């Protein structure tokens, strides 16, 4: 094992490490890693490689974080990996630094959590939850594959909440006022109409293609979602298997969709319906139109909540709503919209009174 210096093509002094190791098949190999500005960085790269090869939990946290994220990139969607990477590199790596993984205690994790809780301006409870979950997932990975005795984050528990506990939505009256003030843009009008009357997610809307619309049965097929990460567009399977679904459309919306496709120039089956729209564009117009109409601004995802709220008000069962929204099970629907169902108690008592 050795660390030596060399001069690169630009005439700069750099360091490299060169060493032998035995791979999983028992074959002896030579490894060379170069391009370091400091000799200690080259030595650290060598040590990290050997610790990783040995499946040791004595590896520094910052180095292990790279190992974990590399593994995630091979197995998870780009959007999910990006979320992990941002949270871990922004909050966890600066705090734990080069502390060996097996030296991180529950007390240290709790201190990290308290720092996040006391951050100013405050983080949203859902963001705190995500930070806590992603760190715990990293330690779980270490316990499974790097012989870490226990997950210190599991002992401390999670912080934050899974859901915000509050959802904004538009009533049908507010929606009509919103649409009245939306500028004369067919793609925008149709996009918001689909969001409100189907409850689909924004990514599901943007991934819709010509062939997803069944004119005869007046339905749309949801089997893909579109995300944009670092400027690159990814069209992947939706959030869960239950998210793959067929949504029936109001006849008027189906007609609008049919007319829109007919206006496209030689539409192809796999051609996206809204190639010029993005989350940013939709959110921008949503904010501008709400301001113009004198309405509260709601998030794009709140159009989904608006749809669910409307169905609850119309008296549809949680099971029907869960299937339409693509929830994993009816429990999810009830947990998200429980506060809306509470408002139905007076209606229940009134109808029961009629039977007495």
Is 142 within a domain? no
pLDDT score, position 189:
96
Residues 44 and 183 in one domain: no
71 lies in some domain: no
Q: Which residues of 113-133 are buried (b: 16+ CB within 10 A; e: fewer)?
A: beebeeeeeebebeebbbbbb
* Domain shared by 49 and 179, yes or no: no
pTM as predicted: 0.72
Structural domain contains residue 134: no
**Do residue 46 and residue 178 come from a single domain?**
no
Say if residue 190 is in the same domain as residue 335: yes
- What is the structure's pLDDT at 313? 84
Q: What is the DSSP letter of 222?
A: E
The domain in which residue 24 lies consists of: 1-54
Residue 152 lies in a domain: no
pLDDT at residue number 55: 73
Structure confidence at residue 24 (pLDDT):
62
Residue 251 domain-assigned?
yes
Q: In the chain, which stretches have pLDDT less than 70?
A: 1, 24-26, 163-166, 335, 338-352, 356
Q: Hey, is 238 helix, strand or coil? A: coil
Q: Is 293 a member of any domain? A: yes
Alpha helices (runs of H) in the chain, residue ranges in sequence order: 39-54, 61-75, 78-87, 93-96, 106-117, 125-145, 152-156, 172-180, 186-198, 202-207, 251-263, 279-293, 301-313, 318-325, 330-342, 345-353
Classify residue 90: in a domain, yes or no.
no
- pLDDT of res. 312: 86
Tally of domains in the chain: 2
User: Does 305 map to a domain?
Assistant: yes
CATH number at residue 258: 1.10.443.10
Give the pLDDT confidence score for residue 133 in this predicted structure.
96
pLDDT recorded at residue 329 = 79
- Where among 17, 39, 54 does a domain terminate? 54
């Amino acid at each position: 094992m050795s660390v030596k210096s060399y001069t690169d093509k630009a005439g700069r002094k750099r360091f490299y490490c060169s060493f032998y190791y035995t791979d999983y098949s028992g074959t002896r190999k030579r490894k060379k890693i170069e391009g370091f500005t400091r000799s200690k960085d080259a030595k650290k790269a060598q040590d990290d490689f050997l610790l990783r090869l040995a499946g040791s939990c004595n590896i520094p946290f910052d180095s292990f974080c790279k190992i974990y994220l590399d593994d995630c990139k091979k197995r998870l969607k780009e959007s999910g990996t990006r979320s992990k990477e941002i949270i871990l590199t922004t909050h966890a790596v600066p705090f734990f630094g080069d502390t060996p993984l097996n030296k991180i205690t529950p007390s240290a994790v709790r201190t990290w959590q308290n720092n996040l809780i006391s951050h100013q301006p405050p983080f949203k409870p859902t963001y705190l939850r995500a930070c806590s979950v992603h760190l715990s997932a990293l330690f779980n990975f270490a316990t499974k594959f790097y012989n870490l005795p226990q997950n210190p984050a599991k002992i401390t528990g999670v912080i934050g909440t899974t859901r915000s506990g509050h959802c904004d939505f538009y009533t049908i009256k507010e929606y009509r006022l919103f649409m009245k003030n939306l500028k004369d843009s067919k793609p925008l009008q149709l996009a918001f109409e689909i969001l409100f009357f189907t409850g689909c997610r924004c990514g599901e809307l943007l991934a819709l293609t010509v062939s997803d619309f069944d004119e005869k049965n007046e339905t749309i097929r949801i089997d893909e979602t579109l995300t944009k990460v670092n400027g690159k567009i990814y069209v992947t399977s939706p959030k869960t298997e239950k998210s793959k679904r067929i949504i029936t459309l109001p006849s008027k919306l189906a007609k609008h969709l049919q007319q829109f496709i007919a206006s496209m120039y030689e539409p192809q089956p796999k051609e996206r319906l809204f190639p010029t729209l993005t989350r940013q564009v939709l959110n921008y117009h949503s904010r501008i139109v709400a301001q113009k109409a004198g309405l509260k601004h709601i998030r794009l995802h709140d159009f989904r909540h608006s749809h669910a709220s409307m169905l609850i008000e119309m008296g549809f069962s949680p099971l029907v709503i869960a299937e339409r929204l693509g929830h994993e099970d009816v429990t999810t629907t009830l947990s998200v919209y429980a506060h809306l169902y509470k408002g139905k108690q007076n209606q229940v008592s009134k109808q029961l009174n009629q039977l007495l």
